[in-house]
Amino acid sequence: MPGEVELTIASHPRWLRLARSVVQDYCAALDVPDTQTQSIVVAVDEALSNVMKHAYGGDCSKLVSLSCSTHGNELEFEIRDEGAAFNPLDHDVPPPDELRSGGRGLYLIRAIMDQIEYRRDGDSNCVRLSKKLDTPLGSA
Partner 1 sequence: MDINVKRDADRSIIEVSGDIDLYSSPKLRDTVLDLLGKRDQKSVIVNLSNVDYIDSSGVASLVEGLQAAKKRSARFVLVGLKEGPRRVLELTLLLNVFEVHATEEDALKA
Q: How far apart are the C-alpha atoms of 83 and 51, rounded to whole Å? A: 8
Does 14 contact partner 1 by CB under 8 A? yes
Of all residues in the chain, what percent are helix, strand and coil, respectively (each to 5)? 35, 30, 35
One residue of 98, 122, 138, 140 binding partner 1 per CB under 8 A: 98
Question: Distance between the two ends of the chain, CA-based, in angstroms?
Answer: 27
Count of positions on this chain that bind partner 1 (CB under 8 A): 29
As measured in angstroms, the least distance from the Cβ of 14 to partner 1 is 5
**Burial (CB count within 10 angstroms: exposed 0-12, middle 13-18, buried 19+), residue 133:** buried
Minimum Å gap between C-beta 122 and partner 1 is 27
> Would you count residue 41 as binding partner 1 (CB under 8 A)?
yes
Q: Which helix (H) or strand (E) holds 130?
A: strand 124-132
Map the footprint of partner 1 across residues 20-39, applying CB under 8 A.
Answer: 20, 35, 38-39
- Residue spans of alpha helices (H) in 12-137: 16-29, 34-50, 104-112
* Binding mask of the shown chain, residues 78 to 97, with x at each position contacting partner 1 by CB under 8 A: -----------------xxx
Q: Which amino acid is at 123?
A: D
Residue 87 beta carbon to partner 1: minimum distance, rounded to whole angstroms: 18
Minimum Å gap between C-beta 94 and partner 1 is 11
Give the residue among 84, 67, 85 at the shortest CA–CA distance from 75: 67
Q: Where on the chain is the footprint of partner 1 (CB under 8 A)?
A: 12-14, 16-17, 20, 35, 38-39, 41-42, 45-46, 49, 52-53, 95-99, 101-102, 104-105, 107-108, 111-112
